Amino acid sequence: MLDLKRQYLPLHQELLDAVAHVLETQQFILGEPVGAFERAAAAQLGVAHGMGCSSGTDALWLALAGAGIGKDQAVITTPFSFFASVSCILRARATPILADIDPATFNLDPEAVDRVLKGTPIKGLSAILPVHLYGQCADWTAFSRLGQEHGLKLVEDAAQAWGAEWDGVKAGALGDIAAFSFYPTKNLSAAGDAGMVTTNSAELAERVKMLRQHGMRRRYFHDEVGWNARMDGFQGAILSVKLKYIGGWNHARRTVAKRYHAMFHAAGLVESGLYPNHGVVLPREVPGSRHVWHQYVIRTPRRDALRDFLSIRGIGSEIYYPLPLHMQEPLKSLGYTEGSFPEAERAAREVLALPSFPELREDEQRTVVSAIADFLS
């Protein structure tokens, strides 16, 4: 699925030098290594403030808590995402309200959210949290309209979407506040756990900085209960190096996606509808979006059997995600049941992520597509 060594080897000495500088200056937590990354990252995204933190999960919690979302409030989000999209709402002591996904993009469906908003009034509803899944922005035109109409904050879960755009504006600069992950598999990746919160609001930025250091604005004086969610100096230094190359890596991911598209069409495996019958439905980039292809995810009716077949051929694949959040055991208390979100549930049965990373070779992609053709023949 992913060979991190191919990215690491060309940067070997540059990364070692960056780590050595942290050792020499002994700025192990926050400090200038993190500050330099924060400034450069914010500039690249076109956003006023970027705050490094300890993980993408902490970034999402900080974004929610920083935006003042907490007890007796509710947030609308998707059932088809990583667990943290909902668990961080609960960690903020708010209530997750779920709406179904768009079957074309797998992102939160604005029409489904609109139906929720027009239904039974939701006590304390404060925000919408769309997830830019697989590297493609949610329909921000629609979500901006819904946010304005209903007086709701917009929180971006941009964990998979560094460099993605909607109408020329980068993920992380679209909503009131946003969260990124730099988990090692992400497009922009740390050498361990790390994350970032971005916002154009000086007030929200100052609050996030306070919350990530146990609620301190002054050392050892605590204004409220925060958390230890600071970024390590090593991760800031490594990310500063990688930030210089992410544009090229994202361009390479787009090239990989285009090659997959062409190969699948040439092999006659592609079905044109939203749902597969016998072949595969390819992922699509929708108008207004600039996809960064964190994952290349097909839909296929015999997904589990295909995955087993690929594994026998020595080809990696992954399922993002095999069980929607409303069906996860710890979240059954939310009150949803199987059948509540048919699009998310169908996607969980059909999606399969294929090997896709900047250094993936054309011959390796041919091997993947050829194996899928053999399976479907």
Q: Mark whether 43 and 116 lie in a shared domain.
A: yes
- Helix, strand, or coil here: 278? coil
- Where is the domain boundary, 212, 243, 274? 243
- Cβ atoms of 264 and 366 within 8 Å: the answer is no
CA distance 76 to 87: 13
CATH code, domain carrying 58: 3.40.640.10
pLDDT tens-digit map of 220-240 = 999 998 899 999 999 999 999
Q: Mark whether 20 and 155 lie in a shared domain.
A: yes
Q: How confident is the model at residue 76 (pLDDT cuts 50, 70, 90)?
A: very high
Q: Mark whether 232 and 285 lie in a shared domain.
A: no
CA distance 204 to 66: 6
Does the pTM of the predicted model rise above 0.85? Answer: yes
- What is the reported pLDDT for 338? 96
- Cβ atoms of 107 and 348 within 8 Å: the answer is no
Q: Mark whether 216 and 275 lie in a shared domain.
A: no
Q: Mark whether 224 and 262 lie in a shared domain.
A: no
CATH code, domain carrying 333: 3.90.1150.10
Q: Mark whether 41 and 179 lie in a shared domain.
A: yes
Q: Mark whether 42 and 151 lie in a shared domain.
A: yes
pLDDT tens-digit map of 197-206 = 999 999 999 9
- Where is the domain boundary, 193, 218, 243? 243
**What is the average per-residue pLDDT within 46-59?**
98
**What is the average per-residue pLDDT within 124-143?**
98
CA distance 66 to 281: 39
Number of folded domains that form the chain? 2
Degrees to nearest 5, angle at CA 140 with 350 and 116: 70
- Cβ atoms of 78 and 85 within 8 Å: the answer is yes
Q: Mark whether 234 and 255 lie in a shared domain.
A: no
Q: Mark whether 172 and 274 lie in a shared domain.
A: no
Paired tokens of 215: 């609620």
- What is the reported pLDDT for 39? 98
Q: Mark whether 11 and 135 lie in a shared domain.
A: yes
Q: Mark whether 197 and 313 lie in a shared domain.
A: no
**What is the average per-residue pLDDT within 188-196?**
97
Q: How confident is the model at residue 79 (pLDDT cuts 50, 70, 90)?
A: very high
CA distance 163 to 365: 24
Q: What values do phi and psi take at 246, rounded to 5?
A: -65, -35
CA distance 69 to 92: 7
- Cβ atoms of 260 and 283 within 8 Å: the answer is no
Q: How confident is the model at residue 139 (pLDDT cuts 50, 70, 90)?
A: very high
Residue type, 323: L
- What is the reported pLDDT for 361? 97
- What is the reported pLDDT for 282? 98
Q: Mark whether 237 and 294 lie in a shared domain.
A: no
Domain around 296: 246-376
